[in-house]
């Protein structure tokens, strides 16, 4: 058991995977110097430029090359810097990586991991602060993961590399310095949620950085006599329907909280499933449908916070009486 940062855990996971399997490679902008968040620090020095490759500033080229690498036997880990930039590679992700296995009868597979950091990046404005994970959950053929802890950024990244299918991997732009204990022998199962806090009165379903806000909100609610259960989905596709439905059956109230824009966010899929398959009362809390402002006051207006999660939880419980 070692204490690592969220970024350091990703370095450790990728390094371990590359030592164990010579077909694992990494490519992207600035990764030779460690990546803009330090998530590749030291890897090019250890593995060389043929396995940790700096690329031109062209996301379409980067993902297109990775698809070709994957089809010829490599396991590329692709760096998009931030999810906002991945929009320049949507054809390669959606029409090539996601579709190949199905269009050619399984003759080719694309075991690529595409790392696309999400979330508000303080004072970075509208083109560097988006959470677009629901876009990729909508696409058949893609696995969608969103780790919230250092342990999961180690274990889920290793699981993603071993998956065999294209994985869209959403780390949070403001979790890189988060520290936590990491056990290298602890596996993560794709599609399996983690219950971060047990509770009897309310279920909060969440992922990525909103897990930490939800835990803060749950602590506030506990001081008021309300025990909230917090479920970290970790995997958005496939997602752990069984865990969510079981918790909903116990508590009778479910709040889905995420940083992404609430309109057509993945929380709507969870809410619809609960409406169809449970008797629980359901509410959602997501970001406003506004571009993220550069000015701190404008940025604060669109943020999901622990206080707002707690407030929505109180309103849900009041409505349920």
Per-domain boundaries in the chain: 2-182, 194-319
CB 292 within 8 A of CB 129: yes
**Catalytic residue selected from 128, 172, 253, 258:** 128
Residues in the chain: 321
Segment 6-37, tens digit of pLDDT = 999 999 999 999 999 999 999 999 999 999 99
Kindly give, in sequence order, each residue whose CB lies less than 8 Å from that of residue 249, ignoring residues fewer than 6 positions away.
278, 279, 280
Tokens of residue 114, six digits: 């595409």
Render the burial of 133-148: b for 16+ CB within 10 Å, e for the rest. bbbbbebebbbbbbbb
Where residue 205 falls among pLDDT bands split at 50, 70, 90? Answer: very high
pLDDT of 295 above 90: yes
pLDDT of 320 above 70: no
CB 154 within 8 A of CB 9: yes
How much is the pLDDT for 123? 84
Segment 272-285, tens digit of pLDDT = 999 999 999 999 99
User: What is the three-state SS of 167-213?
Assistant: EEECCECCCCCCEEEECCCCCCCCCCCEEEECCCCEEEEECCCHHHH
Segment 228-287, tens digit of pLDDT = 999 999 999 999 999 999 999 999 999 999 999 999 999 999 999 999 999 999 999 999
Q: Which CATH architecture has domain 194-319?
A: 3-Layer(aba) Sandwich (3.40)
β-partners of residue 4 are: 180
Same-fold call for 2-182 versus 194-319: yes
Percent of the chain with pLDDT over 90: 97
Q: Which CATH architecture has domain 2-182?
A: 3-Layer(aba) Sandwich (3.40)
3 state DSSP class of 151 = helix
| Residue 128: active-site member | yes
How many whole angstroms separate alpha carbon 224 and alpha carbon 311? Answer: 12
Where residue 209 falls among pLDDT bands split at 50, 70, 90? Answer: very high
3-state helix, strand, coil in the chain (%, to 5): 40, 20, 40
How many whole angstroms separate alpha carbon 39 and alpha carbon 28? Answer: 12
Burial class (CB in 10 A: 0-12, 13-18, 19+), 1: exposed
3 state DSSP class of 24 = strand
What pTM was computed for the model?
0.96
Segment 125-166, tens digit of pLDDT = 999 999 999 999 999 999 999 999 999 999 999 999 999 999
pLDDT of 321 above 70: no
Segment 71-87, tens digit of pLDDT = 999 999 999 999 999 99
Residue 320 Cα to chain centre, angstroms: 31
């Amino acid at each position: 058991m070692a204490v690592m940062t969220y970024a350091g855990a990703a370095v450790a996971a990728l390094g371990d995977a590359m030592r164990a399997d010579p077909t694992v490679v990494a490519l992207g902008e600035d990764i030779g110097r460690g990546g803009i968040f330090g998530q590749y620090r030291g890897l090019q020095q250890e593995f060389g430029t043929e396995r940790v490759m700096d690329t031109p500033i062209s996301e379409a080229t980067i993902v297109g090359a990775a698809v070709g690498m994957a089809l010829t036997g490599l396991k590329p880990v692709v760096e998009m810097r931030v999810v906002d930039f991945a929009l320049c590679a949507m054809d390669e992700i959606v029409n090539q990586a996601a579709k190949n296995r199905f269009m050619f009868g399984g003759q080719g597979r694309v075991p690529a991991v595409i790392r696309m950091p999400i979330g508000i990046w303080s004072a970075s404005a509208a083109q560097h602060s988006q959470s677009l994970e629901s876009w990729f959950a909508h696409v058949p053929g893609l696995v969608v993961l969103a780790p919230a802890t250092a342990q999961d950024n180690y274990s889920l990244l290793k699981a993603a590399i071993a998956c065999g299918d294209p994985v869209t991997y959403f780390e949070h732009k403001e979790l890189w310095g988060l520290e936590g204990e990491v056990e290298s022998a602890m596996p993560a199962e794709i599609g399996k949620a983690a219950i971060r806090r047990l509770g009897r009165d309310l279920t909060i379903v969440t992922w990525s950085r909103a897990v930490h806000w939800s835990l803060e909100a749950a602590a506030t609610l506990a001081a008021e006599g309300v025990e909230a259960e917090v479920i970290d989905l970790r995997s958005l596709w496939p997602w752990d329907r069984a865990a969510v439905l079981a918790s909903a059956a116990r508590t009778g109230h479910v709040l889905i909280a995420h940083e992404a824009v609430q309109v057509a966010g993945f929380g709507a899929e969870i809410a619809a499933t609960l409406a169809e398959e449970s008797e629980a009362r359901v509410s959602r809390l997501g970001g406003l449908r506004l571009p993220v402002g550069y000015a701190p006051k404008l940025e604060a207006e669109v943020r999901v916070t622990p206080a707002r999660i707690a407030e929505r939880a109180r309103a849900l419980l009041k409505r349920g009486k």
